[in-house]
Structure 1
């Protein structure tokens, strides 16, 4: 995997949603909302963006008579998230050793 910046994960809580879902088979809407700490409309908006990018699968159904929504990362979504996280990690080494160049 090559570290690569992915602008999809740089807007709103999309990175948090991806990070949460990378360790789950499926997560229900309420769990994602509560873990990310955002409102329903914010989660809906960013979930739609992730879905449009092909990174998120959305399943709708019901538990009893109550409608439910579940999310999971797609294969390409997992790959894109891993690549983006690797890119973020690689940034920490960019300035390594440059402190010695600062004046006293």
Structure 2
């Protein structure tokens, strides 16, 4: 059985990855909307997004809409594969035969 990816395994990062995996490939969600969905503080979300970005799992894009700054995030191809591997490892752990 494969080990669970420690970058994804932290509860907050797992929740972020789950939400971002539901967004279409190549699409992003705004930081504000992600914060609302996850009910996380801006600082906490930012720290965890940075960790996921450093691992190459998430791409964070900063832009402007007129004069208003906008930040959005989405899974990279590597992030999508890592999340798929993570969920497969969890399923394997749950489904493995139990010896009593």
The verdict on a shared fold, with TM-score over 0.5 as the criterion, is: yes
**Whole-angstrom CA distance in 2 between matches of 1:64 and 1:3:** 47
Residue in 1 aligned with 2:10?
11
Residue in 1 aligned with 2:31?
29
Deviations 1:49-85 (A, max 9, x none): 0000001111101122211101010011000011001
2:78 aligned residue (73, 76, 79): 76
Gap runs ≥5 in structure 1: none
Residue in 2 aligned with 1:65?
67
4+ residue runs over 4 A deviation: none
* TM norm structure 2: 0.87
**Whole-angstrom CA distance in 1 between matches of 2:72 and 2:9:** 22
* TM norm structure 1: 0.84
Q: CA RMSD in A?
A: 1.7
Gap runs ≥5 in structure 2: none
Aligned length: 97
**Whole-angstrom CA distance in 1 between matches of 2:2 and 2:35:** 28
By how many angstroms is 1:37 displaced?
1.2
